[in-house]
Amino acid sequence: MGGVGRRKSLMAKRRAVCIKCGQFKAHALGACPKCGFTPRSDEDTAKALILSKAFDAGEDVVGQSMPELEQIASLLQTDGQYPFDPEEVLRVAAAHRAARAITPRHPLQAGR
C-alpha cells in the first residue's frame, strides 16, 4: 500500500516538462527544479503550457498526454530542443493573454 501513495505523489510532481532542459516539474509556469528556468515571456509561457498535461482551455485543449510528455522530455534531454508548432504557440499565447485579462488578479475587498 505504501507504493500507491508514493506513485500518486510522483505523478503530481510530473505535470509539465521544462522547455529548456526537459526535466519534469509540478507546474507548467513554475521554476524548473533542475535548471531554474521560469517561463516569463508570452512565447515561453505558451510553450510551457503546451508541454504540460492536457487540459481544457475554453473550446481548445492545450497540452500533451503523459506518454507524449515522456517522449518530449527525452527528446529535450538528448537533443536540447523540441519542434514547437509556431501557429500553436501563437494560439496558446493569445488564449493565455485572454484568460489573464478576464481573471481577477486581486480579491475583492469589502467597502470597494
Q: What is the pLDDT along the chain (112 residues), one digit of tens a residue?
A: 455 554 444 445 679 999 999 999 999 999 999 999 999 999 999 999 999 999 887 788 899 999 999 999 999 999 989 999 999 999 999 988 988 888 666 555 555 4
Q: Is the residue at 5 inside a domain?
A: no
Domain count within the chain: 1
Q: Is the residue at 112 inside a domain?
A: no
Closest to 50 measured CA to CA, from 36, 67, 69: 69
Q: Is the residue at 63 inside a domain?
A: yes
> How remote is the C-alpha of 95 from its chain's centroid?
14
> How remote is the C-alpha of 46 from its chain's centroid?
8
Amino acid at 102: I
Q: In which domain, by residue range, is 52 found?
A: 13-102
Nearest-angstrom CA–CA distance, 70 and 38? 20
Q: Is the residue at 24 inside a domain?
A: yes
Q: Is the residue at 107 inside a domain?
A: no
pTM for the full predicted model? 0.80
| pLDDT value at residue 106 | 55
Q: Is the residue at 90 inside a domain?
A: yes
Would you state the cell numbers that stand for residue 1, as one nine-digit string? 500500500
Q: Is the residue at 110 inside a domain?
A: no
